Amino acid sequence: MIEIYNKLRDRFGHMHWWPADTPFEVVVGTILTQQTKWENVERAIRNLKERGLMEAKLLSRVDTEELEGLIRCTGFYRQKAKRLKDISGFFFENPDVLTKHEAELRDELLSLNGVGEETADSIVLYAADKPRFVIDAYTKRMCGCMGIEGDYGRLQTLFENSLPKDVSLYKEFHALIVEYGKQFCGRKRCNECIFVKNETT
């Protein structure tokens, strides 16, 4: 896997991802980015910041209809508004939750409405700065092109066992995979895929 990382790093350089001013902003972003483009998330986050709502207490108590209007650009806004209020309430009531061990933190996050494995691991890695490799749709597709199949847990174990346990490396690698996926998989440039051509494992 480190060879794949090096190829992607050589192509794209440092990604500086996840863009956020605070850990809680990362949490908000993980909910908003579900099933939408990041550009839409940026618009919604700007809306929330302009209304002074980028705090767990305030976001958990904001009027639901107002919140829906602020995040409408991300799609599924009613569902996401409820999830945002739920997770904001959780973080307000548990202000030290990000200091917990990654396994305990992950389990608590997975117990929340609308938080699946990818969302939980994104919070663990990018908000809590703890080592948990994020597996998203692009990662699954990339692995499939290399003949590597498996569910979320199997692929995550494969990456984590093949790499040094390093938070910065996990962040950078995941961000590079996303960038590669957007530029190649998202644009159906399969004939240019470096993974299929070189069959790197």
- CA 191, distance to chain mean position in Å, is 27
Confirm if 91 and 58 have CB atoms less than 8 A apart.
no
Residues 183, 146 share a domain: yes
Domains in the chain, number = 2
Write phi, then psi, for 37 (nearest 5 degrees).
-85, 155
Find the domain containing 42 and state its range. 23-127
Distance from C-alpha of 21 to C-alpha of 35, rounded to nearest angstrom: 23
Residue 197 — very low, low, confident or very high, per pLDDT cuts 50/70/90?
very low
Looking at 105, 127, 149, the residue that finishes a domain is 127
Say if CB 118 and CB 62 are below 8 A apart.
Answer: no
Half-sphere CA count of 15, side-chain side, radius 13 A: 22
> Is the same domain home to 146 and 117?
no
70-99: pLDDT as tens digits = 999 999 999 999 999 999 999 999 999 999
pLDDT of the residue at 201: 39
